[in-house]
Amino acid sequence: MGGKTIIIGGGIAGLSCALKLQEANEDFLLITDTLGGRITYSAKDKINYGAYFVMKSYKNAKKLVSQGKLINPLDVCFHNSNDEKFSLLHFHTLKRLPQLLRFFFAMMEFSAHYEKFKKRCLTMSQIEAMDLDPYIRVLYKKTASDFIKEKRFEKVAYDYISKFSYACTGVGSDQINALDFLNVSMGILQPIYNLKFDEKSITERFRDQLVTDTINTIEKEDGMFILGGASGTIYKSEKIVVATPAAITKTLLKKEHIRGACKIYVYHVEAELKKIYTRFSLNLFPSSSEIMLTAKQNDGSYLIYTREKETDLLRVCETYKLITEVSWEKAMYVFGDAFLEQEPEEGIYIAGDHNGLGLEPAAISGIFAANRIINK
């Protein structure tokens, strides 16, 4: 079994690659064990346990996911401690206005560079795009905390921006690079929405090109790639797109260096939160807290995100009943500055979020792989 191209992995990167190839009438096979990858959407509960939101600017990712309810920035509470908390409509925000302006101008500069970078990454590798813009390359090597000090908005970062970044990634500003931090922080300056993923529709779209299996081995023989599936099936193709999480890509392609992954644990609960957390739908916490956020859902239940598996949820709940628990032992690849080439050798393309966070960068990496295949 096989095709001209085999895509391994059905997350947003693999699906974006498949959609582009399908639109170009290219021959391909999409092999995945989990359609959506780390988009873990429950159609029954209308809740996502993986990637939580889409930004308004997600032009490519939104071809495969749709936006749900607007996340209201005025319905967010930022907690420094049990005694110090504030919303955006708080006197505390006025005190931070000078630094907020510095943050705004830093983001405007970043956005101008980043939009060009994303557009270039559709048709050229990320490393080539970085070579054309040293500003972006420097951000990849620099920690977010160093960038914050350089731009002089430390207090605003601590009170607001870093809490939002921590809620999205599970790591503090001293552990994440400036490029990922600023990319995530774009969600503060534009509308963001809960996402929806229609697995049935996606399955139907790729029905004749979709195989449910797990690829365990990749070999090359006489110019063809030989892929071994957990089902026992052998697949053959001229080209492969490895659109798996970075740790799996490392194993399949025998790569030595990838960025380290954070851990995130998601608890869906019926709960009575402590009074301090009930006024706002979204509570964000500093990186010193094991609990990253609490998010009220449409049905009155809550999602609680933590970075430690055995976190005591009674820190934020008076009482709770567990509905669902989802563990992401390798949630996002954020630690270090290792860089995976997107075309490590002839006929192999790597797509995913290994070099950059978020649904949109992952979607763009899949489209790049498809464009390279189409143009060749």
SS3 letters across 220-283: EECCEEEEEECCCCEEEEEEEEECCCHHHHHHHHCCCCCCEECCEEEEEEEEEECHHHCCCCEE
How many angstroms separate the CA atoms of 94 and 82, rounded?
21
Q: Distances in Å between the alpha carbon of 104 and those of 152, 153, 165, 266?
A: 12, 10, 16, 31
pLDDT in tens, 325-371: 999 999 999 998 899 999 999 999 999 999 988 999 999 999 999 99
Going along the chain from its start, the domains and CATH numbers come out as 2-48+197-260+338-375 (3.50.50.60), 70-190+261-333 (3.90.660)
Q: Quote the pLDDT of residue 1.
A: 65
pLDDT at 274 over 70: yes
Q: 234-252 pLDDT, tens per residue?
A: 999 999 999 999 999 999 9
Does pLDDT of 121 surpass 90? yes
Residue 294 clears pLDDT 90, i.e. is over it = yes
R_g of the chain, CA atoms, integer Å: 21
Residue with tokens 């790591």: 171
Confidence tier at 264 by pLDDT (50, 70, 90)? very high
**pLDDT tens digit string along 177-205?**
999 999 999 999 999 999 899 999 999 99
Decide which of 44 and 158 is more confident: 158
Per-residue pLDDT band at 211 (split at 50, 70, 90): very high
pLDDT on residue 2? 62
The two three-digit tokens of residue 354, written as one number: 């290994």
- pLDDT (tens digit, 9 = 90+) per residue, 50-65? 877 889 999 999 999 9
Going from the C-alpha of 151 to that of each of 46, 104, 110, 310, the distances in angstroms are 40, 10, 12, 37
**How high is the pLDDT of residue 45?**
79
pTM above 0.85, yes or no: yes
Tens of pLDDT, residues 324-335? 999 999 999 999
Tokens of 294: 């609490």
Q: How far apart are CA 254 and CA 101, in angstroms?
A: 46
Predicted local confidence at residue 40, as pLDDT: 84
Q: What is the structure's pLDDT at 52?
A: 79
Distance between CA 161 and CA 328 in Å, rounded? 23
Structure tokens at 160: 């607001």
Kindly state the average pLDDT of the residues 95-108: 96
Q: Judging by beta carbons within 10 Å of its beta carbon (0-12, 13-18, 19+), is residue 43 exposed, middle or buried?
A: exposed
